[in-house]
Amino acid sequence: MSFDLDERQVLRLAMAANGPVNPLPEGSSVTLEQLQEIRWNQHLTNGERQERLEQVRRILRALDNDVDLDARMKSRGMFSVSELIQGTDIDKWTAHTGVNSLETFEEWLLMKRRHFDTLRGRYETGEKSKDDELFEWVFAHSGVFNEVHVNFKAMKARMLAASSNDKGSLQ
Tens digit of each residue's pLDDT (9 = 90 or more) over 56-69: 777 776 666 666 78
Q: Does 38 fall in a domain?
A: yes
**Beta-bridge partner residues of 30:** 3
Q: Are residues 9 and 82 in the same domain?
A: yes
Q: Please, what's the b/e burial string for 46-81 (b: 16 or more CB within 10 A of its CB; e: otherwise)?
A: eeeeeebbeebeebbeebeeeeeebeebeeeeebbe
Q: Does 69 fall in a domain?
A: yes
pTM: 0.56
Q: Are residues 103 and 149 in the same domain?
A: yes
CA distances from 31 to 20, 54, 104, 110 (A): 20, 14, 48, 47
Mean pLDDT of 134-143: 96
Whether the CB-CB separation of 18 and 39 falls below 8 Å is answered with yes
- Structurally, the chain folds into a number of domains equal to 2
Mean pLDDT for the chain overall: 80
Sheet strands (E) in the chain = 2-4, 29-31
Q: Are residues 11 and 73 in the same domain?
A: yes
Range of the domain at 100: 96-170
Q: Are residues 44 and 101 in the same domain?
A: no
Q: Does 91 fall in a domain?
A: no
Q: Are residues 54 and 108 in the same domain?
A: no
